Amino acid sequence: MTEREPGRAAPVAALARLLGRAIRRPSAAVGRRIRRATHAEGAGESGLGKLIELHAVNSAGDMMITVALASTIFFSVPTGEARGRVALYLAVTMAPFVLLAPIIGPLLDRLPHGRRAAMAAAMAARALLALMLAGAVAGGGLELYPAALGVLVASKAYGVVRSAVVPRLLPPRVSLVKANSRVTLAGLLATGAAAPVGAGLHQIGPQWPLYGAFVIFAGGMLLSLSLPHMVDSAKGERRAKLAAASGESEPWLAKHSPGHRRRAARPGLRTVGSSVLNALIANSSIRALSGFLTFFLAFLLREEPFSGMSAAYSLALVAGAAGAGNALGTAVGAWLKGRAPEVNIVLVLILVTTVAVLAALLYGSIVVAVLAGTAGLCQALAKLSQDALIQRDVPEDFRTSAFARSETLMQMSWVLGGAVGISLPLLGPLGLGVGAALVAAGALLSVRALLAAARRGTPHPRVA
């Protein structure tokens, strides 16, 4: 019997080699196609392609952690208790932004060399914290929250640094708006691919998506260090202050904010024009609507799913519509590039406000899905138009700082909108009416000024 075993082993080894080639070839082909897409139009030579791939890795890892935390904080407990846990989670979520605004942004201005190390450190921190969360996630105790806070701080620190890095890696043929849309789209695609993988790992055990996150972030750490050396260049950069240029009217929100007169009297740079400030107000209202819909609809559809649908299917319908809208907005934004950004923001504000009002009046599965898709579409388009305004109106010396600060404001608006969403009673028309009011307030504060700025034009257009 033993004499025949080598003969039997040969076919088994040959079959194993055949299966290995069958698995490797499709994977290698997919990898080559992804590399061609991320490195197109000179992105490979400039280093932008590697940043696109890094952001995809980052988004996939964040989705793994989201799957694990959602199953623990939201789905595993009754609705009343889940509200409390989500409120605590949002309170924890606010902490990174409180830290980002006064600390990380100025630190990035003063110590701009070492951005690769900063992104690698953010990845390494999340990898280690994912292992810590894996040990705590099964029990669902309060020890989750300090680790979750660390993950969020590292995630937002990465986001701020990444926003600052993109302008440094632009190929000659790619505008900043198009580059940002490619980075964002890569993140969306990676998120969509990681979600079912995370859900499948969760079926093995609640800690397994976190093990997956550890592996992903460890790879992201190595990829961060492989970015080009120009990422760490800070030649000519200075700090931007979000204030109107001399002779321009400031938006109502900036004019009536605490300390306005003191800031105006203090000498310093005035590098961000009225268009950018009003675009920030408009984008903040749309981002607040997005956060509001995320949490309000999550609780509402868990308790009162759409007619003829389960809670899971209702949530999947809304989430899928939002994701599709976001991807479509990113693609359309890349096509529009920087054309008439003020007008684009006004149009999306009017569109999303109108759809939100109709959804409040005609509450139902179709109209709510349309609202989710419209909100995703308008959020992507408004953000890309805001990026175009920063590129056009902010001198290159200050552009990096302006991007970092705008990203912090957008994320804070999302959290505040989510906080409003979990505080309301679970009444569909009432909640969507509040959401419509959020975005309508942004429209009232910014539309007139944006249209006036569009008519006036800019004396120093810089859109590529």
Interval 124-151 mean pLDDT: 77
Q: Long-range contacts: 197-205, Cβ < 8 Å, 24+? A: 197/64, 198/63, 198/64, 198/66, 198/67, 198/68, 199/67, 201/64, 201/67, 202/67, 202/68, 202/71, 205/138
When pLDDT is cut at 50, 70 and 90, the band that residue 430 belongs to is very high
Q: Which of 77-86, 213-222, 258-267, 358-367 has the lowest mean pLDDT?
A: 258-267
pLDDT tops 80 at residue 285: yes
Residue 90: pLDDT band with limits 50, 70, 90: low
Residue 186, pLDDT above cutoff 90: no
pLDDT of residue 267: 33
The mean pLDDT value for 126-146 works out to 76
Of 112-116, 302-306, 361-365, the least confident: 112-116
Fold classification of 236-464 (topology level): Growth Hormone; Chain: A; (1.20.1250)
What radius of gyration do the chain's Cα atoms show? 24
Q: Is the pLDDT of residue 437 over 90?
A: yes
pLDDT above 50: residue 265: no
Residue 154: its pLDDT value, please?
82
Mean pLDDT of all residues in 322-336: 80
**Tokens, residue 68:** 């694990």
Structure tokens at 328: 């479509």
- The domain made up of 45-235 has a fold known as Growth Hormone; Chain: A; (1.20.1250)
The answer to whether residue 100 scores a pLDDT higher than 60 is no
Predicted confidence (pLDDT) at residue 464 exceeds the cutoff of 70: no
d(C-alpha 282, C-alpha 251), whole Å: 11
| Domain spans in the chain, listed from the N-terminal domain onward | 45-235, 236-464
The mean per-residue pLDDT over the stretch 99-118 comes to 62
Q: Positive or negative, the Cα torsion across 403, 404, 409, 411?
A: positive
pLDDT of 339 higher than 70? no
Task: For residue 286, name the pLDDT band (cuts at 50, 70, 90).
Answer: very high
Q: Which two tokens stand for residue 437?
A: 């009011």
d(CA 107, CA 100): 9
DSSP character at residue 141: -
Which comes out higher in pLDDT, residue 50 or 236?
50
Question: What is the average pLDDT across 392-421?
Answer: 76
Q: Would you say 388 and 463 are in contact if contact means Cβ atoms under 8 Å apart? A: yes
The phi-psi region of residue 77 (left if phi > 0; otherwise alpha if psi is between -120 and 50; otherwise beta) is: beta
d(CA 1, CA 122): 58
- Average pLDDT estimate for 386-397: 76
246 vs 423, higher pLDDT: 423
SS (H, E, C) 143-177: CHHHHHHHHHHHHHHHHHHHHHHHHHHCCCCCCHH
Span of 59-68, 133-142, 414-423 with lowest mean pLDDT = 133-142
pLDDT of residue 373: 94
Q: How far is CA 84 from CA 142, 412, 423, in A?
A: 12, 20, 10
Q: Which residue has the tokens 């408009």?
A: 282
Judged by average pLDDT, the poorest of 54-63, 148-157, 391-400, 415-424 is: 391-400
Tell me which residue has tokens 């406000």: 353
